[in-house]
Structure formats: structure tokens, C-alpha cells
Structure 1
């Protein structure tokens, strides 16, 4: 097992080194005439960016002093996002390079054809009495040791192409990351989805659940972001609020003040909480007590009977290592199956247990919708549903893309959301 882990680690390291060498080559070596300050600065920039990124990840996981986490998080995590899109943009530029070189070659050939002198006209006879004009005096030769003047040399065609493609790739990467970061910091937008449930009585038709997942309060997203989320949730005037995990990335000591606005969450039937995998990296028991103090009701493998349906919640699968994993029998085993049941479970992979226990609707998060395209492809390989509503037998699964972001405070192709689920009765 140790050997396999070491081989995988070496493979990952080799891929990272190769990718960064490629980025340095295309952005700095190929766009300069020779060794110099620009190439050295490029090497320092790339190596320094990765040092900050690794430092940010290690500081967060090791529980380093929170000011240090914050100092490393912004530049380190943004570099992670920027390096992804620099690599993708430069790879896309490989398809443009031959086309641009072909275009420039055709243009230069056309200019050369237009600059060729025309064939001389036949000489005219000059009357003998008419003397030809005197030829201009030749210019004096240059002084001894002085080189004749030369036209200024422009960049070669290959250098010009490298500069155009490298500049365009850098601009595209910076623009993509900037736009994606603005989208996260602006706060999530409200998404509305209607979900019909066969067992839901007519009296509960139109019942609204505000689903909030993956807020990820931490060294980057703090109290101000939490307040935006709370204000957005309260503006929906939902009947019930469901916070389905990954609320925080850090301890109660460091992030308690950032989470304080959650006490303002307001809904007619209250606000409920289940753990996500990141709570188990951050002290799940302490956070369960903290959200309870803030007025949310944790559902730790538990169920509550609302007037017209059951609401249940199970712990995240990451809690299994601490003996606090999901317990479906405890949460769902003795319920009346003639009543509709809505289950809060952080990860979409928990849907298969929900199906076996006759759940009507599972509400999840965890995937972030991929967060950074093409991360949705990786998320799709690890989860049955990446985002949106799908049916599994008699059970429906809704997966939110989440309100915040983990790592880079950036989303590309997966905008953040708070979803209002409106339950619909087939009897209405």
C-alpha cells in the first residue's frame, strides 16, 4: 500500500512539474530573445505561486494560526485557479500557433511579390546632341572601423507568434479567474425548483425549503460573506431552511465570529443542519453545538415529524472514521412510510441508502457543480448527480451547487446558488 501511494505521489509530482515547465516555457522562454531577467522572474513567479498554494493548504489542514492562514489563502488559492486556466489557455493556443504562422507566411509572401521591381522598359534613343544628365556623386565610404547602418531588426515570426499566443492566454486566464472570483464574492443567486411528491398531501402543496450547502466559511470567506448568504436566504421567505453541510473550514475558535450571522436565519418551521465532510476536518462535535447555540437544529441521524411530511437528516460519510457516520436505521427505520419523507444528506452518493429506506426526496450538496470547469467531469465520475434534480427509482435527488467555494474563491461554469425547493402535491 505504501509503495502504491509513493508511486501515485511521484506520478502526480511529475505531472505538476511537467505542466509548470510547459507554462514557463510558453510564457517566458518562448517570448524572450535569450536568458535574462524576464525568464528568471517567470521562474520565481511560478515557483513562488506554488509555494504559497501549498502553504495555504498545509496551514488550513494543520490548524496554523488563523492570521497566517488568511495571509496565505488569498494569493495561494488564487494562484491554483490561475495556474489551471493558464495551462488550459496555453494548450488551446497550440491549435492557433500553426494557423497564425501560416497567415503570417502568406502575408509576407504577398508583400514580397508586391515589392519586386517591374521589368525595365525598352531604352529610348537619345539624340546625339543631347547630353545625358550627370550621375549623382557617390556617397563617401564610412569612416575606418565604422559599420554601415542597418535597419532595425523586428521580432522573428516564431517570436512574434509566441508573444501573441502567450499574451492572449495570460489575458484569458486572468479574465476568467477574475470573473469567477467576482461571482463568488458577489454572493449566491436564488434558484427555484418545483418537486412533485406523490405522498405529499394537498395541504402541503407549495411548501418551500431553502437549501443552502457548501458555504465554506474560512480564511477567505468570512463574516461578510455569511451575512450575504443569510440575507439572501431570508429574502426567499421559505417555510423551512436546510443547511446541508460543509458550513466551515476551520475551528469554532477561529470561525465562530464569522458564523454568527447564522443566528439571523428565519423561517416558519425553523432552520436545520446536517454535517458535511469538512465539518469532520474542523471539529464536528464543536460545530454541531455551535450551530445549535445559533438557533439551528442539528439532525444527527434523526428525524422530526412536520405537520405534513417527515424531515430526516443523516451524518456525512466522513464521520465514519470517528464513529459518527450515517445511521439510516436510526433516522428512518421506524417511520410511517405512508408519509412523504425529505432527507438531508450532504453527499449525493448517499442516495442509494435513501432509496433502500423509501425516502421521497434527498437534498444534498458537496459537488459544487464542479466549481472550476472542467472539474464537473471529475465530479461526475465520483458522484451520481453533479447538480440539479434526478430520479432514482421512487426517490428524487436534488444537488445544489453550493453557496460558497472551497480552495480558490472562484467558480467557472458552476455559479453558486441557494435553491428554493417548492414541494408540489399530485393531489392539488
Structure 2
């Protein structure tokens, strides 16, 4: 009886070819798929009135990770998809940059491209844990610190792009609804780990009006519900981005992707537009989220 193939030199070579070939195809597919942006649609209803509005179309984007992997062409595709929806409001839930501002392929062109986003009430954003100065190695930040600072050029970029950044701030938009933006709980770019609680941020707001919050990470969901928040817009998770993280994320977050109701509050999490780490997506999609909010 002959020796099993797997124990022979030929068997080992065939196995190596199979593994390497499979890895190559996995990576190639993931790299191509990561550049394709889809549009997902969701409807929610909240029991509040927003003056004369019956409904409002909100486009949620997050995790652009502008830098080595994501550049001007990707942003033009994203902006075109957003404008096609004719949104009332656009919210950008953090990780606009991928740590190193120098990695932007063309900052001026990028800011001009983002300035093309059109909506009735404007584009608002919060920063995320990658919107600070840190060194990247193989796409991952090293020397991570809660006291990491933000590159001041990031603020200048956002202003030129016509995007209003809310940092532990609230804004009453057109006297119809509130939009609150939180500092990131992991790295807020201010050299400190402190930020206001959601209770502090909402204490003086008129709770009869719809209350929307942007926070990069979809955490503390019960606290948002207790504070009277109607909708929490988040990103951060990338829905796992690629296997095996796609299996881990549902256990790490109460809402790792999509729409989930927590009490009277909706948590809405996008898988994001860009990528972190390896420039691949497998089992997830780069997306913009279109959320139609009905007021009842």
C-alpha cells in the first residue's frame, strides 16, 4: 500500500500551491470588491414631530479612511451616489482620515470633491479614533495613545470641504430637530481622554423635538435611550470588513451593523466607505446608507 499523497513531496507541493493560490484569489477579490460602493436603504419611524416635516432622508457615511487606500476617485464615486439620493441631511460618523495626513493623494482636490455633496440641511461630522496623528504600519496604527493629537490640517480640510464638525456640541437645525456630535471615546484628538456624557449633552435640549446623535463607535446604547435620543448614527465596525472578523463583530457589539431598536432609540451603524488595515473587503460591502425617518 502506497504512502498517502499528503505525506509525499508532491502532496506537500500541491497543498502549498492550493493554499497560496487560494490566498491570492481571496486577496484579489477583496481588493476589487473594496472599491465597489453600494447603497443600502432603511426606514424608521419616531413618535415626534419635526415642525412641518413628515419625513426626512438622511444619508449616513463613515470610515472614509482617506489616505493610502482611499483617494480622490473613490470619493467622487461616493459623492455621486450621495447626490443621486437628493438627501435632506448628510452625516459623517468619523474616521474621515487614516491617521497620516501626508498620505492624502491630493488634499485640495479631495476637499473640493467633498464640497460637492448636496443636501437641504448640510453635511455634519464627528471625528473617530483614526482622526489623530499616528504612524501606520501595514495599514494599522502603532504607538496608539488616548492622548494622540489631531493634525490641525484635518480641521482646515473639513472647513474647506464645507463640512461642519460637532465636537461635544449640539445644533438645532432649522428649528426642526437637534443634531448632537460627540467626541470619540477612544481618541478624541485633544490630548485627553475626557468627554461630556450623553446626559450632559442633552440635558438642556427640548426633548419634544427629534434628537439625532453622531458618535463614531456604537457603544453605550442603553445610555442613549435613557437620555432621550431618537437615533444614533455610527460607524467604526466596518461590519467586520473581512473574514474572520465578520464572525467576531456580532459578539463584540450590540449592534455591529444595520438598524437595531434599543428601547425607543434606533442605533444605525454603517459598514463604512473605506477600509482599515488590509485594502480588502470579503463578506461585507463598502456602502452609503440612506435612512428615511418618518415623523409620527
What corresponds to 1:277 in structure 2? 129
What corresponds to 2:155 in structure 1? 288
User: Does structure 1 residue 348 correspond to structure 2 residue 197?
Assistant: no
Match of 1:262 among 111, 114, 117: 114
Residue deviations 1:282-318 (CA, integer Å, cap 9, x gap): 6255423421222111111111223432111111112
Q: Judge conservation of contact 1:302–1:330 (CA < 8 Å) in 2.
A: no
Q: Judge conservation of contact 1:315–1:324 (CA < 8 Å) in 2.
A: no
Residue deviations 1:53-98 (CA, integer Å, cap 9, x gap): xxxxxxxxxxxxxxxxxxxxxxxxxxxxxxxxxxxxxxxxxxxxxx
Match of 1:385 among 255, 261, 267: 255
What corresponds to 2:144 in structure 1? none
User: How many angstroms apart in 2 are the aligned matches of 1:239 and 1:179?
Assistant: 35
Q: Judge conservation of contact 1:348–1:397 (CA < 8 Å) in 2.
A: yes
Q: Judge conservation of contact 1:301–1:326 (CA < 8 Å) in 2.
A: yes
Match of 1:175 among 5, 12, 25: 25
TM-score normalized with structure 2 length: 0.83
Q: Which aligned pairs between 1:227-246 and structure 2 lie closer than 5 A?
A: 227-246=76-95
Give the superposed CA RMSD: 2.6
What corresponds to 2:57 in structure 1? 208
Q: Judge conservation of contact 1:313–1:331 (CA < 8 Å) in 2.
A: no
What corresponds to 1:64 in structure 2? none
Q: What 5-or-longer segments of structure 1 have no aligned partner? A: 1-100, 106-154
Q: Judge conservation of contact 2:94–2:128 (CA < 8 Å) in 1.
A: yes
Residue deviations 1:347-381 (CA, integer Å, cap 9, x gap): 01143432231101100000000111110233334
User: Does structure 1 residue 304 correspond to structure 2 residue 171?
Assistant: yes
User: How many angstroms apart in 1 are the aligned matches of 2:109 and 2:242?
Assistant: 25
How many residue pairs match? The answer is: 275
User: How many angstroms apart in 2 are the aligned matches of 1:401 and 1:326?
Assistant: 25
Cα offset, 1:330, TM superposition: 5.0
Q: Judge conservation of contact 2:44–2:291 (CA < 8 Å) in 1.
A: yes
Judge which range, 328-337 or 268-277, deviates more.
328-337
- For the pair shown, the structure with the greater C-alpha radius of gyration is 1
Q: Judge conservation of contact 1:305–1:311 (CA < 8 Å) in 2.
A: yes
User: How many angstroms apart in 2 are the aligned matches of 1:325 and 1:284?
Assistant: 19
Secondary structure of the equivalent of 1:319? coil
TM-score normalized with structure 1 length: 0.59
Q: What 5-or-longer segments of structure 2 have no aligned partner? A: 135-149
Cα offset, 1:415, TM superposition: 1.1
What corresponds to 2:282 in structure 1? 412
Judge which range, 251-260 or 290-299, deviates more.
251-260
- Evaluate the alpha carbon distance shift between residue 270 and residue 264 of structure 1 in structure 2; reply closer, same or farther with a 3 A threshold: same
- Evaluate the alpha carbon distance shift between residue 356 and residue 258 of structure 1 in structure 2; reply closer, same or farther with a 3 A threshold: farther
What corresponds to 1:162 in structure 2? 12
Structure (1 or 2) with the greater strand fraction? 2
User: How many angstroms apart in 2 are the aligned matches of 1:163 and 1:200?
Assistant: 67
What corresponds to 2:34 in structure 1? 184
